[in-house]
Structure 1
Amino acid sequence: MAVQDSSSAEIDTTLFITVSGPPGCGATTLCERLADAIGCPYVSGGDIFRELAADRDMNLNQLTAKADESDEIDRALDERLQQIAEKWGMANKPFILESRLAGWLAGDRADLRIWLDAPEHVRLERIDDRVETEAEMRVREVSEAGRYQSYYEIDIDDQAFYDLQINTARWSKTGVFAIVKAAIEEYDPGIDEGAFTTPPMDV
């Protein structure tokens, strides 16, 4: 009997899913596979950030530098992501939102909130072929964490409200997808006793 490749398996769901994690955690890979398997839209905070840069006729480095100077860019990004979350939270259709703050921004509108992570040395190897350097990644992580705390009083390390946390260094890309796929397919709202409450976030 042939075994179906789980990486191409279809998923029948209407869940609104958020995926978050630090650079190199594997969020983009997972979201692309999920969106393809579910057949649903997928919005990335990185894509919105690039749109904001284009709107301002700036490159990504310029916009990142400006984001460090004031809260204008971060708040514009987060407001746009929150509007997207509000729209899809009421749609009763499958959707995937990915960003460091996706779980916070979607709040209780999200049906499944996922946090991905991996040890730093693994994440650094994964971003080795990107434009971003190791030093830049570390600076960005510290900078973002400080801004989230300053703007929203959010501790990005507080992951208590996530429904699923995965160390993506422990499984292959297909394995991580299979874990999330199983969680989605086994979800039954009839026996759901309740998600953890997402801390409020005022953008």
Structure 2
Amino acid sequence: MLWRNRPQYCGRLGPVGRSVAAEWIAGPGWRVGSGTVGHSDRNSRRTPVGLVVRIIVSGLTAAGKTTLCRRLAAGLGLPFLSASRILAEHLSDAGAEWTPQLDEKRTELSVERAVDAAVRSALRERDAGVFDSWGLPWYSDEPAIRIWLESDRASRLRKCHVSYVQRGAPKTSEECASILDAKDAKSRAVFLANWGFDLFTDRRPFDLVVDCSAQIPEATVEQAELGARATYRAVVTALVDRGLLGADLADAGPVGGGGPVVEWRR
């Protein structure tokens, strides 16, 4: 495993519990959450509002990773980068979204390693952004806020159903189960083979775990939207409360009872 010989806190929390991510986010010349751009980032990339923060969101199939990432990117004025998009480019797939057919092309571990290298490089080259990636928290040492989006199988099946309804290609419960299980199994096997970690059980790299299993009690577009909003609010509130984002960004609204369960692990 890449990080087996790293310090105990994997390069993100110091020995006295100080957050390296927070220090990096709010380093000299920056005010977290301000609208003033400080100094240039690598390759002269700048964020629209001058917010310097890297957030990685990981989770199993249909946990809501991409939805949360897009909301965070839009709400915080940050670039959005998708590992699935990079995978599609490496496989010469022109589709804008992941499909089961894309996974059918994932036959070579060398291609998977090339994709991982490209995703890791994208993180290293940018001082700010929201990264939608399964494995990046494990195989990169770069400072970032690492979030695991937990969602049980039943809730992920409901999200899968809604996702295909929104695409105009509804799937049955059985079809959703087959799609979800196949993608989970494929990704689990690939990362075990290439990096030696288990997506299903290993949460050591993560700073924050957000359980949104209860946020979609019914497989409807309305419930999915409400759940996505609640999850976004919970994450932003957690980051503000932790001091990783400025209080001026805490405009996502309060999180009422029944919202996602948020657990800081570092």
Normalised by the length of structure 1, the TM-score is 0.75
Task: Report what 2:178 is aligned to.
Answer: 135
Alignment-mate amino acid for residue 178 of structure 2: A
Distance 2:113 2:150 in 1: 25
Task: Report what 1:5 is aligned to.
Answer: none
Note if 1:146 corresponds to 2:189.
Answer: yes
Kept in 2: contact 1:43–1:97 (CA 8 A): yes
Kept in 2: contact 1:40–1:95 (CA 8 A): yes
Q: Matched residue of 2:55: which SS?
A: strand
Alignment-mate amino acid for residue 203 of structure 2: Q
Residues 151-166 of structure 1 correspond to what in structure 2 (within 5 A)? 151-156=194-199, 157-166=201-210
What 5-or-longer segments of structure 2 have no aligned partner? 1-31, 34-50, 170-174, 216-226, 245-264
Alignment-mate amino acid for residue 64 of structure 2: G
Q: Matched residue of 1:100: which SS?
A: coil
Note if 1:112 corresponds to 2:155.
Answer: no
- The structure richer in helix per residue is 1
Distance 1:135 1:60 in 2: 13
Note if 1:44 corresponds to 2:82.
Answer: yes
Distance 2:70 2:134 in 1: 16
Distance 1:61 1:37 in 2: 30
Distance 2:55 2:76 in 1: 11
Distance 1:173 1:155 in 2: 26
Q: Which structure has the higher relative contact order (CA within 8 Å, separation 6+)?
A: 1
Deviations 1:50-87 (A, max 9, x none): 22232799x965652342x3212211211110111111
> What is the CA-CA distance between 1:118 and the residue it aligns to?
1.0
Deviations 1:83-110 (A, max 9, x none): 111112xx3xx31111111212333x23
Distance 1:84 1:186 in 2: 28
Distance 1:73 1:60 in 2: 17
1:75/1:17 CA distance change after superposition, 3 Å: same
Alignment-mate amino acid for residue 136 of structure 2: A
Task: Report what 1:177 is aligned to.
Answer: 232
Kept in 2: contact 1:17–1:110 (CA 8 A): no
Alignment-mate amino acid for residue 175 of structure 1: A
Kept in 1: contact 2:93–2:102 (CA 8 A): no
Return the index of the structure with the highest Cα Rg: 2
* Superposition CA RMSD, Å: 2.6
> What is the CA-CA distance between 1:18 and the residue it aligns to?
0.4
Q: Matched residue of 1:127: which SS?
A: helix
> What is the CA-CA distance between 1:31 and the residue it aligns to?
0.8
Note if 1:97 corresponds to 2:124.
Answer: no
1:42/1:105 CA distance change after superposition, 3 Å: farther
What 5-or-longer segments of structure 1 have no aligned partner? 1-10, 190-194, 197-203
What is the count of residue pairs matched by the alignment?
174
Q: Percent identity?
A: 22
Q: Matched residue of 2:120: which SS?
A: helix
Match of 2:69 among 18, 31, 43: 31
Q: Matched residue of 1:82: which SS?
A: helix
